[in-house]
């Protein structure tokens, strides 16, 4: 939708990968709509995933015993976060929609993207106490997980070996995005591109491109328990 | 149990933290039993969490388009993994039990520990196709997650805002550890040490120390769907 701002947080090492294609298609389609699209290409940026004392510039509020959560909250308030974190927070702050594009690693995001969540979504910026879940500080924003899997779709069903795909999305969709207040759009899961034919991969890309055309009309999914698991 | 080997993968920045105390108690109690205990102190090691081309020494099997999973599998077979990964794999290979000690970050492990999982548990070493879940390559080993939370226990129940704690443990206990064949012991969850009194924290440490005394007699939990969720 013209005028909307989109941040794509992208985690793949290879510019010729299927994940890169999905990211590129999103940039093209959203730009065509008149959106402003920003990409955080985490591997290309060499993004730091480790949550350490170096994330805080200047003195600590309690140098006797380092608590990452406490110090990040204090540092956010006095604008003392390290530059790469402040830059990502600015991108999130300006965005109407954040898309996460990644290959599933161990039923979750790759460590480099987990590090983005651990470091960028700090107290004071993304949530507060009180100020989480439906009152999370990013509550006027949308988020969407677009991921590829190794396994085929039938493995990610209630009766499959991997269980319903909603199970592994719980920590991300509810515990992270919903916690920060994001309205979460349905995930875009491209199953097993490695084991698919060229035509099947093309169809997955086309389906994502097609969905993006009417993305702004979508209703968010229900993230709260117990409805989340369809109960 | 005398003669057993234990690896503790530990992720906290602060040697005076509650997580450090839990780790130290495990080292002491298991050593007292006659176990050989090794600790991978990830922050102290400056452990690399990012999954990149640098993890493979020498030539790639497909330099045209980098696939981390494929290249790690090939590199494992020809002993071409980077030194830090090979060292961690050796520790896992020798261990009868792997304990993960960490503070919960976004319903999951901190990025530095996610990186340990992403990089160390590669195909050929931890699993193969076929050779996963009950036939995972680490199937003669035990694993246990020992974690601290920010929220209090009542939040992590089926009716609580965060849902049953088993929900967020699913990607770790089933999708990662069980996938690699580990028999998973019940998680040790120390709820909200930050919001507890000194006495309550002492009691949590004592309860962990007590449990460790008879740990080798425990039966693993059921990790497979649909039993995992108590259905």
Contacts of B225 in chain A (CB under 8 A): 158-161, 163-164, 167
Residue B22 pLDDT > 70: yes
pLDDT 10s digits, B40-71: 999 999 999 999 999 999 999 999 999 999 99
For A115-133, b/e burial (b = at least 16 CB within 10 A) is: bbbbbbbbbbbbbeeeebb
> In chain B, pLDDT over 90 holds for what percent of residues?
94
pLDDT band, very low/low/confident/very high, at B2 (cuts 50, 70, 90): confident
Q: What is the per-residue pLDDT for A155?
A: 95
Residue A229 pLDDT > 80: no
- Comparing alpha-carbon positions, the chain B residue that sits nearest to A105 is B118
Q: Phi and psi (nearest 5°) for B89?
A: -60, -40
The closest CB to that of A111, out of B49, B65, B172, belongs to: B49
Q: Phi and psi (nearest 5°) for B36?
A: -95, 120
Q: Is A59 helix (H, G, I), strand (E, B) or coil?
A: coil
pTM over 0.90: yes
Range B15-33 average pLDDT: 98
Q: What is the per-residue pLDDT for B227?
A: 67
ipTM: 0.97
Contact between chains at A168 and B171 (C-beta distance less than 8 A): yes
Contact between chains at B114 and A117 (C-beta distance less than 8 A): no
Tokens of A43: 């591997």
pLDDT band, very low/low/confident/very high, at A230 (cuts 50, 70, 90): low
Element (H, E) at B10: strand B5-10
Residue B135 pLDDT > 70: yes
Mean pLDDT for all residues in chain A = 96
Range A73-88 average pLDDT: 98
Mean pLDDT for all residues in chain B = 96
Contact between chains at A118 and B133 (C-beta distance less than 8 A): no
Distance, C-alpha B176 to centroid of its chain: 9
Is residue B5 a contact partner of residue B96, using CB atoms and an 8 Å limit? yes
Residue B13 pLDDT > 70: yes
Substitution target in A42, A60, A106, A115 with the highest count of B β-carbons within 10 Å is A106
Where do the domains of chain B lie, and which CATH numbers do they carry?
Answer: 5-229 (3.40.50.360)
Substitution target in B84, B108, B224 with the highest count of A β-carbons within 10 Å is B108
Contacts of A109 in chain B (CB under 8 A): 114
């Amino acid at each position: 939708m013209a005028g909307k701002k989109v941040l794509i947080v992208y985690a793949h090492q290879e510019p010729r990968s299927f994940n890169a294609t999905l990211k590129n298609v999103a940039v093209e389609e959203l730009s065509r709509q008149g959106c402003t699209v920003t990409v955080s290409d985490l591997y290309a940026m060499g993004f730091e995933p480790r949550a350490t004392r170096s994330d805080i510039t200047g003195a600590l509020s309690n140098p006797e015993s380092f608590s990452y959560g406490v110090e990040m909250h204090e540092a956010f308030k006095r604008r003392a976060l390290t530059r790469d974190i402040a830059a990502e927070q600015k991108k999130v702050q300006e965005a109407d929609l954040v898309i996460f594009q990644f290959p599933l690693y161990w039923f979750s995001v790759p460590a480099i993207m987990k590090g983005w969540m651990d470091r960028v979504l700090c107290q004071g910026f993304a949530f507060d106490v009180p100020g989480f879940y439906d009152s999370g500080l990013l509550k006027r924003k949308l988020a969407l997980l677009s991921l590829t899997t190794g396994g085929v779709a039938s493995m990610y069903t209630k009766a499959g070996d991997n269980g319903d795909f909603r199970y592994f999305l719980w920590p991300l969709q509810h515990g992270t995005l919903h916690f920060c207040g994001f309205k979460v759009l349905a995930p875009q899961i491209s199953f097993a591109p490695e084991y698919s034919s060229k035509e099947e991969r093309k169809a997955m890309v086309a389906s994502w491109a097609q969905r993006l055309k009417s993305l702004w009309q979508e209703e968010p999914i229900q993230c709260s328990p117990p409805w989340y698991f369809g109960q």
